[in-house]
Structure 1
Amino acid sequence: MPDFGSIKFGTLFAGTEIPVLTTSVTVAAGQGVLKAGAVLGKVTADGTYKLVDKAATDGSQVASVVLAEEVDTTGGAVPAVAYTSGLFTYDALYVAVGDTVADHQDELRSGNIYYKTDY
């Protein structure tokens, strides 16, 4: 079993009203370093996850999880821990350039991932 590192609660979370659940995912190669808080979508063809981008057409345009730890995908696909539910700080989440987290609000909510913009 790979070592998925440790999960740190901090400014990523905006409250405890929504239970925090995690899962293991494989983050697709070629995205460089992704930090905790990256909103990811699942690539339909191979089941890996990429930084969500509304312009994508491979399935990763639909937000589904939030990355729980920093990963470096430069050398290839990597295993990681991702949140499948929780209440997050809006400013700690990020998506692809030209996209916004708010663009994916309905998708995230359908998966029980919520965010707060007022702290």
Structure 2
Amino acid sequence: MPGPRVFTETFTPDRLIAGLTQPVHENGLLISGQNLARGAVVGKITASGKLTLSLSASSDGSQVPYGVLADACDATGGDLANCPILIAGEVNESALILGTGHTLASIRAGLRDKGIHLKSVIPA
């Protein structure tokens, strides 16, 4: 009789979630051509409702932060549905991935309006 199978996994926390407030997620549609990591600040394109990395120079609505990717999403092969987007909660500002032209100051108010609060976390 074979013995039990043993698996080993390593978990390395990225410290994206930074508080006691319960995070709130929704699923979003990431536009084709994007391959974004967890923590990327995304905006919503007004005409299509699709999500993309928020860039300050965009003029399609996505320049306004909509949320933060709660997991890595790869849409290089086409639009990707069901990307988990953090739309409320407290996040570690140093774990965010910002698009070109954005700074923490430029996204803070937009994310706060959505219910996402940026926290400065001191590493343990």
TM-score with structure 1 setting the length: 0.85
Change (3 A) 1:45 1:68: same
Task: Tell me how far apart the structure 2 counterparts of residues 73 and 58 of structure 1 sit (CA, whole Å).
Answer: 19
Residues 1:11 and 2:8 are matched in the alignment: no
Residues 1:66 and 2:31 are matched in the alignment: no
Report what 1:77 is aligned to: 79
Letter in 1 for 2:43: G
Task: Tell me how far apart the structure 1 counterparts of residues 15 and 39 of structure 2 sit (CA, whole Å).
Answer: 10
After TM superposition, give the deviation of residue 11 of structure 1 in Å. 0.6
1:13-68 CA deviation, whole Å, 9 max, x = no partner?
A: 1111x33111010011112x201101111001110001111100001000011111
Question: How many residues were matched structurally?
Answer: 110
C-alpha RMSD of matched pairs (Å): 1.6
Change (3 A) 1:10 1:118: closer
TM-score with structure 2 setting the length: 0.82
Give the match's secondary structure for 1:22.
strand
Report what 1:98 is aligned to: 101
Q: Give the gaps of 5 or more residues in structure 2.
A: 1-12
Which one has a bigger Cα radius of gyration? 2
After TM superposition, give the deviation of residue 10 of structure 1 in Å. 4.8
What percentage of aligned pairs have identical amino acids?
Answer: 35
Give the match's secondary structure for 1:102.
helix
Report what 2:91 is aligned to: 88
Task: Tell me how far apart the structure 1 counterparts of residues 115 and 100 of structure 2 sit (CA, whole Å).
Answer: 24
Q: Give the gaps of 5 or more residues in structure 1.
A: 1-8
